[in-house]
Amino acid sequence: MNPEPSNNPRSDARTASVDVVIPVYNEQVVLESSVNTLRDFLIANCPYRWRILIANNASKDRTLKIAQRLAETYPGEVDVVHLDQKGRGRALKKAWSASTADVMAYMDVDLSTNLDHFMTLVTPIVEGRYHLATGSRLMPGARVKRQPKREIISRCYNLIVRAMFPSRKFFDAQCGFKAIDAAVRTELLPHIVDNAWFFDTELLLRAEQRGWRVWEIPVEWVEDLDTRVKIVDTAIEDLKGLARVRVTRLKAR
Task: State the catalytic residues.
Answer: 200
Is beta strand 177-181 parallel, antiparallel or unpaired with respect to 132-136?
antiparallel
CA angle 103/106/111 to nearest 5° reads 140
Q: Is 36 within 8 Å of 64 (Cβ atoms)? A: no
Q: Is 171 within 8 Å of 138 (Cβ atoms)? A: yes
Please compute, for residue 241, the number of CA atoms within 13 A of its CA located in the half-sphere on the CB side: 26
| Distance separating alpha carbons of residues 122 and 104, to the nearest angstrom | 9
DSSP element (H, E) containing 39: helix 31-45
